[in-house]
Chain A
Amino acid sequence: MAIIKLRSGNQDMENYKVEKKVENRVPSNEMAHLKLKGLGNPMVEIENLNFFYGEKKALNNINMIIPKHQVTAFIGPSGCGKSTLLRCLNRMNDLVESARMEGAIRIGGRDLHQESENVSVLRKRVGMVFQKFNPFPKTIFENVAYGPKIHGLKNKAKLEEIVENSLKSVALWDEVKDRLNESALALSGGQQQRLCIARAIAVEPEVLLMDEPCSALDPLSTGKIEELVVGLKENYTIVIVTHNMQQAARIADFTGFMLLGDLVEFGPTDRMFTKPNKKETEDYITGRFG
């Protein structure tokens, strides 16, 4: 098994191992099925992923393919590792000092740790929206323009264009266009979360990770965000963590059910909710669990 440390040293060797492993990989029937159906135009490929917080194993041998321009949801009881898995995809787990990862993740065919020195570029490709909406204490404009700016865009007109487009794609433009220079913190919760989504897509990521983006919102705002997510999949591959099964059912094309660090089952949402393959999935979905 390939062992990839977060700050990896000898890359060639490890990549070699990874390649080898990939050949030996036996894709599950489901995967093969997906690939055959052409649905599984893979955006993210996760292979034999194990993840540890110190001694504690948080993810256990995860293998999956996340298809392009689809909404993929992770569900499962709290503490099962949904966020951890999500955070592996943009290497936010690097910030946790004791964290350690084994296995391989490829996004758009490129191994995450290949560009180990440039997390910055990776995170530009893989944006993230957090559970707690967290706009910067800056103006609305500055919030959206922040990403493009740190990636070196200085042209004012271009920035304005990006801000406008990003706000339009989260349906916030009409609400805030007259007060772009006011503090983002004056917005309502739902608006703030949409602003955070706008902020994330302003850098034009390929993948957008969302960790329970609606858990702190009222039903009305939640509805808006859900609508948005469905709309956004046209341009982005979306991976969303939710503890709300109805939400997954409403918006996700694919759903993965996790339990205690294992990916128990992964497949098209319809089938997952109507004909789950595993007993645990069924128990969870029918509410007999957690």
Chain B
Amino acid sequence: MESGSAPDTADRSMHSIKGLKKRLWVDRLATNFVTLGGGVIILAILAILFVIVWEFAPLFKSPKVVLEGTLDTGATRYPLAVGMDEYREVAYRVDGAGIQFFSLKTLKPLPATPLPELFKAGITSVSPSEDGFIILGLSDGRVLPVQVKFENIFSGDTRTVQPKLIPGKAVLIREDGKPVETLTHFKSEEGYSIAVKTNGHEVAVIQVEERRNMMGGVTQNTSKDIISFPVKGEISVLVFHTVENALMAGTTSGQILRADLEDRDSPGAIRNIGKTDRPEVSVTSMDFVLGDYTLVVGDSKGGVSTLQWLKLKDGKPRLHQINNFEPHTEPTTLFSKSLRTKAFLSGAENEIRVHYSTHGETQITLPHPEGQKFKAVSLSRKGDGILAADAHGKIYHWTMNNPYPQITLKSVFGKIWYEGYKEPEYVWQSTGGTDEFESKFSLVPLIFGTLKGTFYAMLFAIPIAILGAFYTSQFMDHRLKGIIKPTIELMAALPSVILGFFAALLIAPEVERFLPGVIMTPFVIAGVVLLAALFYEISDEFKARVKTGREIWVLVPLTLFGGALSFYAGTLVESSFLMGDHRTWLNEVFSVTYDQRNALVVGLAMGFAVIPIIFTITEDSLSNVPEHLKASSLALGATPWQTALQVILPTASPGIFSAIMIGFGRAVGETMIVLMATGNTPVMEWSMFNGFRALSANIAVELPEAPEGGTLFRLLFLAAFLLFVMTFIVNTLAELVRLRLRKRYRVL
């Protein structure tokens, strides 16, 4: 017996130790598995966040400039202008003797290109242009248009740039034969115009029309005009304002004058239109940035500012100061502009700066590397390189890496005075009709749109969901609750695209048709229900018939009746008080326009999408309030209503708060409904009759138009990041408040 029982005990204890080990092992495995799962999720979210940040971060990188090469031309004369080809392989330098090409790769001069049209004259001034069509002012009073052309020659895989000069026909402008010193020009489809200062206050304007005839030759038609400006001091710079067909002149006394070329004889066609920021300071450079809307004025004290010719309140066009840039320490004499963006370059003899006109920030400052004097500058066509020639025959070539010059924190989040606008505004308008379009990348209207949509959705959803949950959990008959609750939970599974589709195609037109009725509905229903409640209180028979928990059988028909009543009343109201059509009435009385797809419709549809979540979580947290709390309140003689309001509601408040916040998060991120049920116009108005554009919908709308790596592409990532941050902030706040509430209403 003994020998039999001993191994048995040992065996059993072994067995139990084994079992214990196994259980511990399983336990540890499970723990590790859960930890691993959580870790992987956190990692995945962090990875997504990282990718998002990685994609938009380049937008805010500060620009990089590298001195690519220095070229000693050996020339002794001052440069009058410089320029380069699109690929920054060949540069040219204009001085008194002519035009010389250099290779920017080898830093050597290229074969000379003589200009026989000069005859014996020297070049005294140049009206430069980044597109290569330049006008030379000559010492004998003539001007000579020259097209600097860069031909790309492909031999096999290699491309060489072949520069070429195509001189036009010289025109004698200063009949006195004095050298041409101040001139400007512009080129159009039909030909070109040149303006030359002929004396202190007079300007000769030459218009050359070119017509190709059938033989392939070109006939030129030249007309000449003299414009006399009422100048204080002397004209110092000239520029054509092509979009207005006007000529502008800056003077040594700080005036800016304008001559209307269209209607020259009308009174006020030629007049003083403004001053620089510092009167009595000579205007030393003046030109337009791309698009010919924004005028850049540089003065002899180094000031740089942008102005716009705008019609403001009184309807009279005037020159308005837009931005002031950090001034140079020496007179601002140099200017060049990008032909791709609104970037421009201003220069004094000692330094060059690159600015961006849209947001008014200076992005790069380049002092002369050897402390000498800059005499001519050029920004490359793509805005990715700078060429500067100094007084000592040297040419400096910088490469500039600033792929997103338009994006700064200010241009994304601040108010910007865009071209043609009456004041600084938040605008999102990513693409326009032309290349010269100033894109407007403010994310503020989109953030606004997201908040607006969320606001209206919550306005609709919170009362319905919470009151519904309150009734369901506290008063509704248990069997009925067993049906209602899963049904509402099922609603959450409805794909939002279907809701959006319904909202756009069914709700929106009906809401438009019955607008007064729709607006009145909540009030009418509330009124009808209150009346019924009053009736319930005074009528014992009614009271006996409607049992607690079964009020819904009365309430549902009542609600439907209230809805129908308010729609019917709405049409009456519309025909008798709203001039028969609420849209005209809204427009005339409140000057509000009614968009068919508007915030009201989104509020309804998106509200519908968030109601199930808010309802379910609220209902759960109300039902989870311990029965004993309810019992002790009732035992003190509290009515069920008092108990619900004063005990159940506060105790469930953390859960209700979470419910609202989760609904809020859902509404913030919701895409399909806002995409389909609004017009997606990024306007910033709180009116519920206007549409809006939400961050999420914006991503969906613009993604097909955003080339990879482009500004818009990266901005969409920024929008995604903002969405992420918004939901993160909402959730964190929600969690913090919820924890505090829970601590306060903790139940043992």
Contacts and interface: CB of A to CB of B under 8 A. Distances in A.
A200 B636 contact: yes
B134 to A, nearest CB: 83
A134 B747 CA distance: 9
Given A130-B628, A150-B646, A185-B746, A136 B637 contact: no
Most buried by A among B634, B639, B646: B634
A134 B637 contact: no
B651 A150 contact: no
Contact of B745 (A130, A134, A137): A137
A138 B650 contact: yes
27 contacts: A9-B544, A90-B635, A92-B631, A95-B631, A119-B637, A120-B637, A121-B637, A123-B634, A123-B635, A123-B636, A124-B637, A130-B631, A134-B628, A134-B748, A136-B633, A136-B647, A137-B745, A138-B650, A147-B636, A150-B633, A150-B636, A183-B744, A185-B746, A185-B748, A196-B632, A199-B636, A200-B635
Nearest to A94: B634
A287 to B, nearest CB: 31
Interface string A135-150: 0111000000011001
A151 interface: yes
A147 B646 contact: no
A87 B650 CA distance: 27
A134 B650 contact: no
A198 to B, nearest CB: 12
Interface in B384-408: none
A196 B631 CA distance: 12
A132 interface: yes
A136 B632 contact: yes
B642 to A, nearest CB: 5
B712 to A, nearest CB: 52
A130 B747 CA distance: 16
Contacts of B634: 92, 95, 123
Interface in B602-640: 626, 628-629, 631-639
Interface in A193-235: 196, 199-200, 203
B637 A123 contact: yes
A185 B742 CA distance: 12
B186 to A, nearest CB: 78
Contacts of B633: 136, 146, 150
A130 B637 contact: no
A92 B651 CA distance: 22
Contacts of B638: 120, 146-147, 150
A128 interface: yes
A130 B650 contact: no
A16 B591 CA distance: 73
B747 A150 contact: no
Nearest to A133: B748
Interface string A105-138: 0000000000000011111100110101010111
A128 B629 CA distance: 13
6 tightest Cβ-Cβ pairs between the two chains A and B:
A124-B637, A123-B637, A128-B635, A137-B745, A147-B636, A134-B628
Nearest to B638: A150
Interface in B12-40: none
Interface of B: 478, 544, 626, 628-629, 631-639, 642, 646-647, 650-651, 744-748
Contact of A147 (B628, B629, B637): B637
A150 B638 CA distance: 6
A128 B746 CA distance: 23
B634 to A, nearest CB: 7
Contact of A127 (B478, B636, B745): B636
B628 A132 contact: yes
A203 B633 CA distance: 12
B637 A150 contact: yes
A150 B650 contact: no
Contacts of A146: 633, 636, 638, 646
Contacts of A137: 629, 650-651, 744-747
A124 B746 CA distance: 27
Given A146-B638, A147-B636, A150-B637, 11 more contacts: A90-B635, A92-B631, A95-B631, A97-B478, A123-B637, A132-B628, A134-B629, A146-B636, A150-B638, A150-B639, A183-B744
Contacts of B651: 136-137
Contacts of A127: 635-636
A172 B395 CA distance: 94
Contacts of B629: 134, 136-137
A200 B650 CA distance: 21
A134 B636 CA distance: 13
B291 to A, nearest CB: 65
Contacts of B646: 146, 150
A151 B650 CA distance: 19
Contacts of A95: 631, 634
Contacts of B746: 137, 183, 185
Nearest to A151: B637
Interface in A160-191: 183, 185
A12 B601 CA distance: 57
B64 to A, nearest CB: 60
A185 B44 CA distance: 40
A6 to B, nearest CB: 12
Most buried by A among B544, B638, B650, B651: B638
